[in-house]
């Protein structure tokens, strides 16, 4: 892809920022501890008939490809795709988290050291919008195809380079996008309670032997054998 495209992309990005920023500044939705409202989430939507609400078709292809490589389906257990992680992330972007509604999002914005925490003015939604575009643009330039169209080995290689900070973008630090958002959200969708829409059938918990949302295990701590019961989720369902 030409330099031209890159610059246009950058401009589009800068136009996008204030608009999204305005959304991020709107008062955070009030969070209530309302048991009635916390009825079980609809079962994780199946990938086949899922229509993403946030991601564009190109972004959706990226997210699915990334999920498949970050937690692949292999001898250890099911992958992020089988557990509904792409659907989880798409719906996660529709929550107050996606708009950084509960974060301090006013300036000044500095490039701080990691120990100062997240310093960017980008919301998670903006991270995905700009991050995916930048990585796909880099893939197109380097490999002639967007990430989703590369073979698995090349995809792994690209993601490793992104994580190591070797892939640069003028819009945002892509290593931050990778570790603080993409990888983190994939793990949330994979290991989180099924009530949030991922971890279908608690398969991730079964794989690692996590007993789930029982509050306390005092009776078991001095028992030498492995914990014998399958997991339970926050809504009390057992697997």
Partner 1 sequence: MKRAALLVLALLVAAGAAVAVTGRSLPDPKVSPAIATRTPDPRHGAYVAVLGDCAACHSVPGSPDLAGGLALPTPAGPVWSSNITPDKVHGIGVYSFTDFARLMRQGVRPNGERVLPAMPYTAYAKVSDEDLHDLYAYLMQAVPAAPTANHADGVLWFARWPIGLWNKAFHDDSRFAADPAKGASWNRGAYLVQGLAHCGTCHTPRGPAFQEKALDGRSDLFLSGARLDGASPINLRGNTADGLGRWSADDIAELLASGRSAHSAVVGQMGEVVAHSTQFMTDADRGAIAAYLKSLSPAPESGRATFAATAASLDAVMSGKQTDPGALRFMNSCSACHRLNGDGAGRALPSLAGNPTVLAQHPDTLIAVILKGARMPSTAAAPSPMAMPPFGWRYDDREVAEVASYVRQSWGNGAPSVSAGQVRAVRRALGLATPGR
Q: How far apart are CA 230 and CA 50, in angstroms?
A: 29
The Cα–Cα gap between 150 and 134 comes to 16
Rounded Cα gap, residues 115 and 102, in angstroms = 20
Q: Is residue 184 at the binding interface for partner 1, with CB under 8 A as the rule?
A: no
Neighbours of 30 (CB within 10 A): 6
Least CB distance to partner 1 at residue 32 (A): 14
User: Footprint of partner 1 on residues 198-217 (CB under 8 A)?
Assistant: 213-216
Longest CA–CA span in the chain (Å) reads: 65
The binding track of 25-64 with respect to partner 1, each residue x by CB under 8 A or -, is ----------xx-xxx------------------------
**Residue 221 in the binding site for partner 1 (CB under 8 A):** no
CB of 44 to partner 1, least distance (A): 15
Please report whether residue 14 would count as binding partner 1 according to CB under 8 A.
no
Cβ 231 vs Cβ 238: under 8 Å: yes
Contact 135, 158 (CB under 8 A): yes
Question: Considering beta carbons, is residue 210 or 214 the nearer one to partner 1?
Answer: 214
Distance CA 184, CA 98 (A): 13
CB of 35 to partner 1, least distance (A): 5
Q: Which of the residues 90 through 119 are near partner 1 (CB under 8 A)?
A: none
Tokens 């796909």 appear where?
Answer: 136
- Size of interface with partner 1, in residues (CB under 8 A): 19
- The residues of the shown chain that bind partner 1, judged by CB under 8 A, are 35-36, 38-40, 213-216, 218-219, 223, 225, 228-229, 232, 235-236, 238
């Amino acid at each position: 892809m030409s330099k031209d495209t890159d610059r246009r992309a950058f401009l589009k990005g800068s136009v996008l920022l204030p608009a999204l920023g305005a959304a991020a500044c709107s008062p955070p939705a009030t969070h209530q501890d309302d048991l009635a409202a916390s009825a079980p989430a609809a079962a994780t939507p199946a990938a086949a008939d899922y229509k993403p609400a946030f991601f564009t078709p190109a972004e959706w292809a990226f997210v699915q490809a990334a999920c498949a490589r970050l937690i692949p389906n292999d001898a250890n257990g099911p992958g992020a795709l089988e557990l509904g992680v792409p659907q989880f992330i798409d719906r996660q972007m529709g929550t107050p988290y996606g708009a950084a509604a509960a974060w301090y999002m006013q300036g000044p914005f500095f490039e701080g050291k990691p120990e100062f925490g997240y310093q960017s003015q980008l919301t998670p939604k903006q991270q995905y919008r700009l991050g995916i575009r930048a990585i796909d643009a880099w893939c197109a330039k380097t490999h002639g195809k967007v990430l989703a169209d590369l073979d698995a080995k090349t995809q792994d290689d690209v993601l490793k380079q992104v994580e190591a900070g070797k892939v640069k973008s003028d819009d945002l630090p892509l290593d931050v996008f990778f570790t603080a958002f993409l990888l983190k959200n994939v793990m949330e969708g994979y290991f989180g309670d099924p009530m949030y829409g991922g971890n279908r059938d608690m398969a991730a918990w079964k794989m690692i032997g996590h007993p789930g949302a029982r509050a306390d295990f005092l009776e078991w701590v001095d028992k030498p054998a492995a914990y014998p019961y399958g997991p339970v989720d926050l809504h009390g369902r057992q697997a």
